[in-house]
Structure 1
Amino acid sequence: MTYIEADVKDVLLCFPHQPDSCPRVHRFSVLKFMMYAFMLVTIFMTVFGNLLVIITISHFKQLHSPTNLIILSLALVDCMMGCLVMPFTMVRWVEGCWFLGDFLCQIHSSLDMTISIASILHLCLVSVDRYVAICEPLQYRMKVTNSKIAVCLATIWLFSLSFGFGIVLSKVNALGLDTVVTPCVGYCALTFNKEWSVIGSLLNFFIPGTIMSCLYLKIFCVARKQAKVMSERTAVVKPCETSHSSEQRERKAAKTLGIVMGFFLLCWLPFFMANLIDPFLNFMTPVDVFDALIWLAYFNSMCNPLIYGFFYPRFQRAFKIIISRYVLRLSDANNLIL
C-alpha cells in the first residue's frame, strides 16, 4: 500500500459511503467540547433574554408603545435566530459537515439571511424612532403611531423574506462560481459572487449602518444642546448642582449611544467586510475564520435585549415583577409597581 492510499483512508468523511463526500474537520475532543459549551450558552442566553423581553412587553399594557412595539418585533427576530438558525450553524461549524440534506440547507441559509437582515433593519428603525422622539418631540405622537410602526415592521419582514429566500432559491449569488467553488456532499455555506457581495453588503449593512450612525450623532448633538439649555435656565438657582447634572446627562447620552453603535459595529462590521472583500480575493478566507465572524454577528442577537431592554429602568422593574411572580413564585411580587 502506498503512502497516498494510506493518507486517503485516514481522511474522515461526512458521509463515508459516498465518494463525493466532504472531508470532516479534525478537532481535538477538548476543543469540540469548549466550542459546543460556548455556543450552547450563547444560544440559551439569546433565547432566554429575548423571550423575557417578549413576555414582558406582551404582559404589561403600560409598555404597549410604538417604541416597544419595535423592541418586541426585534426580540422576536432575535429569538428566532437563537431557535431556528444558531443550533444548526453550531453543528455545521464544529463538525465541518451538514447532515440534513440540500433542501434543509437551502431553508437554513434562507432563514439565516432573512433573520439577519430583519435584525439589522429593526435596529435602524429604532434609531429613526429615537431621532423623531428626541429631535422632534412635539410632533412625535402625531408622526409615530402604532399603526405606522406596524406598517414599517411589515415592510421590513416582507423585504427580509423576499431578499433572503429569493437570493438562495434563485441562486443568483452563485452565478459564475462553478469553477471557483466546487461543493461536495455535506457542504452548506452561502457563497456570493462579486456583484451580489457588493449589493447585499450595501443594502443590508452599510446603508442602514450609515443611517444609524448619522441619526445617533444628530441625537447626541441635540441632547447635548438640550442639556445646556436646561442648565442655563436653572443655573441662577443652583449653579453648581445644575452644571454637575448637565455633565451627567451628557455623559449618560454619550455612553448609551456609544454602547448602541459600538456593539452593532463590533458584531456586524467584521463579517460584512469579509463578505465584501472575500470574492475579490478569490475566496481565500479560511472557513473557520468566516464561521467565527458569523458567530460574532450572532452575538448581537444576544446583546440586543441587554441594550434595548434591560438598559431602561421601566423594563428592569417589569423584569423583576415577571421573575419574582412567575419564576420564583414570591408572594410579595404583587406589591411591586411598574
Structure 2
Amino acid sequence: MNSTVPTSDNEEQFEGKWVCQIMTAEGVIGVLGNLLVCFVILRAKCLHNLTNYLLVNLAVADMLLCLHAFIYYLVTAEGCALISFVPASQGGRQIFCRLLASRFSVRALSYASAYNLCVVTLERYVAIVHPLQYERKLTATRMKTLITLIWMISFVLSLPILFTIYPSDDPEQACSEITYPHQMFPLILNIGSFILGYLVPVTSMSLAYYKMQVTLKRQAKALRLQQAREAAYDLVIARQRLVSVLTIVLGAFVILLTPGFVTYLLCLHPTANGPFSFCASKYYRYTREICNLAYYLNSVINPIIYEFKYKKFRKALKSAFCSCFKKHNRNRVDIAMVPL
C-alpha cells in the first residue's frame, strides 16, 4: 500500500506536467498568432476600416487571454506548474493570488473576448441589414465608448472572484485554497458566467448572422435579376465572404467553449460536493483539462481562420511580409555598396 502511493502521485504529476507543457505552448502560439493579426491589419492600408479595427480589438483580448494561459500554467497551476514561483513581498503575493491564481484575469478576458466578438457582429449587422443608418449609428465616438464599456464591464463582472483566495502565511506557499463565502456562491458564479459569457453572446450573434445571411442572399438575387453593375454585385459577394468568415469564428466559439461550460455547470467546485459521482472521479479531472485545452484553443484558432478563409487578410499578410523582406534586402544592398 505504501509503495503504491508515491507511484500514483508521480503518475499524476507526470500527467500534469504534460498538460502544462501543452497549455504553455498553446499560450505562446496564441500570443504570436494574435499579434500577427494586429500587425497585418495595422500595417496594410487596404484593411484600414472599422470592421478590421474591431478585429484588432478582438485579437488583443485573445492575445491577453493566451498570455494569461502561458503564465498561469507556467508558474501557478496547481499540481503541474512548470516553474515553482512564490512572490517574496506581501504586495506581490496579493497581486499573484488575486489576479492570477484566482482566475480573475481569465474570466474577465473571456468576457472581453466574447463581447468584442459581439461588437464585430453588431457592426456587420448594421452595415448589411440597416446600411442607411450605418454612419449615423456607428460613429467613431460611439464605437470607442462601446469598446471602453465592454472592457470595463468584463472586469466588473469578474470582481467577485477576487475575494475567493488570499495570500498564504506559509513562506513556501503563495496562496491559500479557494474558499467561498457561501455554498451558493459557486452556483451563482457559474450560472452567471454561463448566461453572461456564453448564452447571451451566442444567441444574439446567431440571430444576427442568420438575419445577415438572409439579407445578403436577397440582395444578391435582386442584383442578378436587375442585371446590376458588376461592382455592386462584387460588393455583396465580398460581404458574404466576410460574414462567412465571422460565422466560422462564431462556430469555433460555440464548439470549443460548450463542453467547458457544460462540465462546470454539472460539477461545481469542490468536485467532492458535485451532484454526480463522476464529479469526484479522476475522469472529471481529465475532462476538465481537455475542456481547458479547448477553451484556450478558441483564442488561438482565430488567426488560422483568417489565414485560410479571409482572402483580403491573406493578401495583406503576403504583402506585409514581402514588403518587409524587400526592404530588408534593399538595406543590405545599400550597406554593402558603401565604401569603407
Question: Is the structural similarity TM-score above 0.5?
Answer: yes
Structure 1 residue 54 and structure 2 residue 38: aligned?
Answer: yes
Match of 1:16 in 2: none
CA contact (8 A) 1:105 1:188 kept: no
Counterpart contact for 2:61–2:112, Cα < 8 Å: yes
Total equivalences in the alignment: 299
Alpha carbons of 1:48 and 1:61: their partners in 2 closer, same or farther (altered >3 Å)? same
Aligned to 2:285: 287
Distance 1:326 1:43, change over 3 A: farther
Matched, 1:209 2:189: no
Q: Unaligned stretches of 5+ in structure 2?
A: 87-92, 166-172, 269-273, 331-340
Deviates more, 1:256-265 or 1:142-151: 256-265
Q: How does 1:1-338 map to 2 (within 5 A)?
A: 3=1, 5-7=2-4, 12=9, 25-27=12-14, 32=17, 35=19, 38-89=22-73, 95-96=79-80, 99-101=84-86, 103=94, 104-108=96-100, 109-164=103-158, 166-171=159-164, 193-234=186-227, 255-256=244-245, 258-279=247-268, 281=275, 283-284=279-280, 286-307=284-305, 311-326=309-324
Identical pairs, percent: 25
**1:241-271 Cα distance to aligned partner (Å, 9 max, x none):** xxxx9xx889958854652332111111111
Structure 1 pair 106/265, CA: closer, same or farther in 2 (3 Å)? Answer: same
The alpha-carbon deviation at position 162 of structure 1 amounts to 1.5
Q: CA deviation at 1:107?
A: 1.3
Report the CA distance between 1:72 and its aligned residue.
1.2
1:94-151 CA deviation, whole Å, 9 max, x = no partner? 9535944574243111111111111111111111111111111222122212221111
Q: TM-score, normalised by structure 1?
A: 0.73
Over residues 134-172 of structure 1, what are the superposed CA-to-partner deviations in whole Å (9 max), with x where a residue is unaligned?
A: 1112221222122211111101110111122x1211339
Q: 1:178 is matched with which residue?
A: none
Distance in 2 between the 1:319 and 1:251 partners? 21
Q: Which runs of 5+ in 1 are unaligned?
A: 14-23, 173-183, 239-244, 333-338
Question: Structure 2: how far apart are the matches of 1:296 and 1:210?
Answer: 20
| CA 249–81 in structure 1, closer or farther in 2 if over 3 Å, else same | closer
User: Amino acid of the residue matched to residue 306 of structure 1?
Assistant: I
Aligned-CA RMSD value: 3.9
**TM-score (normalizing by structure 2):** 0.73
Q: Is the 8 A contact 1:220 1:253 kept in 2?
A: no
